[in-house]
Structure 1
Amino acid sequence: MSTGAGSRPAKTWRSVAVGALDLVGHPIGEEGYELLLLPINAGAPAYLWGDGAATWRRLLEHPAADETFDEHTSDVVRQLEEMGLATASPDVDRGAVELSPPWLRSPQHELVYALLAEVARQNAIEIVFIKGPALHAQGLRAREHSGDVDCWVRPGDEVRLAEAMVAWGWTPLYSAFLGTGVPHSLTLQPAEWGCAIDVHSRFPGMAISPEVAFEYVQASSESRAYAGVRVQTPSRSEHAVITALHELRPTHGRQPNPVQAANARHALEAAGHDTIRSANDLGAGYVLRQVLRDAYGESSIDGLATPRPEDWAWRSASGPRRYVKAFLTVPWRHRARVLGRLIWPSTAMMLSVEDAPDAPARTLVLARVRRFSRAVRALLGGK
């Protein structure tokens, strides 16, 4: 169909989304909703039904020129554009390549994976998703659901990813030790999403450099779809090592209990003998030697390297002394900055600690003073 002189060329419309879930047949779909979509504009997920859902599906499969729309369809497409779910711009490269049913218990939770993958892609950040429901899918743990999302990036990229996620409603909880190699992850606190994110830049219990560990896990990772977006998760044997290390990590000086030790053994046994190789390659022999021996026998771990992770001593300590030991691992050039943050935490951190997002400045000052006084008394041996 030709256009007359001076007329504008027709626009070709297509569906877009950061993540897309088909709710037909899902319990949520019984309430009348057909699609759960994450718009390309920073904001909350959107439910579609009726003409909106039908039009979005049609434009996903067959982009169409606006001249082919009747008046009603044209209105629906414009509404989808305003919602960030349709575009006629060739410059927008974001689109859900698949429309699939949810496989997580919480569909909105599944969209967080797709969102992180898209934000990482936009910022040229390589990302691997660890722990969570993938462990259940791989037969490494019985529990299906996780309350948060864990991902792993190269050291330094955790801050870039955290800052990019602010526009979508997450607040980074920066540690006093940020940038020193002491923190293994950066927590992003949610708002209305209700799903926290832990961005790992290293994994406790590995006695090799974080960069090498990330490269190793990424190189053997496998593809998995969340909300129509392909992401990378660790291979079964590497994931078993990761979850076993997580279970056996000391928590504020407390050693793992029998249930955690059993969970670690289950994961290592479920993944098979390849976990011994993975544990060795990831420098996890020191932490996992005993549980690997219990799972596979003494002879199976002959030759397993057992270097002690540099951070294991302070992770095994408790109370304020834990922070002192961690502080002593910080390079001299960073110590003044870290000490200042420890004595006088940031407002964002105090708001999180006090669990009072609307606390006035005076309340936060008094809380900082109490926090500092308790730490001094504990270090001096007081109550």
Structure 2
Amino acid sequence: MPQSTLTMTEAVLLAHALVARTAEDVGARILFIKGPTAVAVRARPARLSTDVDVLVDPVAFEEVCHAIEDIGWRRRFTQRQISRAADLAFDHSTHFIHTEWPCDLDVHFNFPGFLAADQDVFEALWQRRILVPIAGTKVPAPDFTGQSLVVALHALRDPENHSNTEDLKYLSIRLGGAHPELAQEVGELAAATGSSESAHQFLVSIGAAQSTPEIASDRLAAWQFRQQTSGLSGALWLAELRRTPWAQRPKLALGALLPRREFLAGSHLASDLTRRQVAALHLRRWQRGLRATPAALRSRHLDSGA
């Protein structure tokens, strides 16, 4: 009998229930963000999701990650030779993959754009939690206000992307004009989570912008860097290269152009890649890097003194 496979939609919905149960088993607080839960509260238009985004109470993050590994998921290989540009990385999550599931799990301890302390961000969103019916169970998620801010921040990382443009327009219509009280709630949540500056463009569009001084922090710099480079791979490598002494640049450049085989294999489900497959993955990385180069070179954060 042929083995049955999950569709992407089935996998995403069932994985929400799986992660919720796994977190409950270890007594950890979590909040599902984006995806089906954002659609359920009408903070995002309905469309196919390919992964599960979950924000974990920072104090329980590693415990939840270990519990997810215990049920057969594995972490994507993320080791990289970025040290001088680490302040621009905005590390915020761990990705998990599974050979029998077509979707990924993106397990967050923070979310790009929230510049306040991780625990403060989680507590602010946790106070606005609701239960959303997903795959026959009820999973915790931020309410409409919380999801709106999460969706907006995600969209603002690359506002030229078509889906992101749709999301921002959708939220502006939902929150603008006839619903000033909802817009005000979003503005207050932005202030509480340190995202008034990073979400400023969105807050202006819904009439909820607040007069706050710019936050001088590594996180704001990392956020601005992501916006300027659209988060494309290669940008961090360029920043690292510019901050590296000339004598060490050839070795660094070689590592960026030809990363170790386990790095490539660890980012995909296949663990026994052929030479042809490895070559194709290298080519794909180079293409993404070339697309990122012009914007990355224009970024002021590439300078050694950033």
Q: Same fold (TM over 0.5)?
A: yes
Cα distance, 1:245 vs structure 2:
0.4
Contact 1:176 1:342 in 2 (8 A): no
The root-mean-square deviation of aligned C-alpha atoms, in Å, is: 4.3
Q: Partner of 2:171 in structure 1?
A: 267
TM-score by length of 2: 0.67
Q: Distance in 2 between matches of 1:225 and 1:371?
A: 39
Q: Is the 8 A contact 1:221 1:233 kept in 2?
A: yes
- Determine the C-alpha separation between the residues in 2 that align with 1:260 and 1:363: 31
Give how far 1:275 is off: 1.4
- Does the CA-based 8 Å contact 1:244-1:265 persist in structure 2? no
Of Structure 1 and Structure 2, the greater helix share is in 2
Q: 1:351: how far off?
A: 0.5
Structure 2, unmatched stretches of 5+, are 176-181, 244-252, 298-306
Cα 1:269–1:121, aligned 2, differ >3 Å: closer, same or farther?
same
Structure 1 residues 371 and 198, CA gap change in structure 2 (3 angstroms): closer
Identity %: 23
> Does the C-alpha gap of structure 1 residues 219 and 324 become closer, same or farther in structure 2, counting only changes over 3 Å?
farther
Q: Which residue of 1 aligns with 2:178?
A: none
Q: In the alignment, is the contact (CA less than 8 A) between 1:185 and 1:202 conserved in 2?
A: yes
| SS of the residue 2:99 aligns to | coil
Equivalence for 2:125: 217
Equivalent pair of 2:32/2:140 in contact (CA under 8 Å): yes
Q: Could you say which residue in structure 1 is the equivalent of 2:264? A: 350
- CA distance in structure 2 between the aligned counterparts of 1:282 and 1:288, rounded to whole angstroms: 11
Q: 1:117 aligns with which of 6, 15, 20?
A: 20
Q: Quick one: which amino acid aligns to residue 256 of structure 1?
A: E
The whole-number CA distance in structure 2 between the counterparts of 1:164 and 1:347 is 27
Compare 240-249 and 316-325 and name the one that shifted more. Answer: 316-325
Q: Helix, strand or coil for the counterpart of 1:204?
A: coil
Task: Name the larger-Rg structure.
Answer: 1
Give the Cα–Cα distance (whole angstroms) in 1 for the partners of residues 5 and 67 of structure 2. Answer: 18
How many aligned positions are there?
Answer: 262
- From the superposition, tell whether residues 170 and 354 of structure 1 become closer, same or farther in structure 2 (CA, over 3 Å): closer
Residue from 168, 183, 192 that aligns with 1:281: 192
Q: 1:129 to 1:346 in 2, by over 3 A?
A: farther
Gaps (5+ residues) in structure 1?
Answer: 1-43, 47-103, 330-338
Higher RCO (CA < 8 A, seq sep 6+): 2
Q: Secondary structure at the match of 1:197?
A: strand
Task: Assess, with a 3 A threshold, how the Cα gap between structure 1 residues 214 and 355 changes in structure 2: closer, same or farther.
Answer: same
TM-score, length of structure 1 as denominator length? 0.55
User: What whole-Å deviation, never above 9, does each CA across 1:328-361 have from its counterpart, x for those lacking one?
Assistant: 99xxxxxxxxx9x979967653214577431269
The one-character-per-residue Cα deviations of 1:161-197 (angstroms, maximum 9, x if unpaired) are: 333223433221142269x773222111131121211
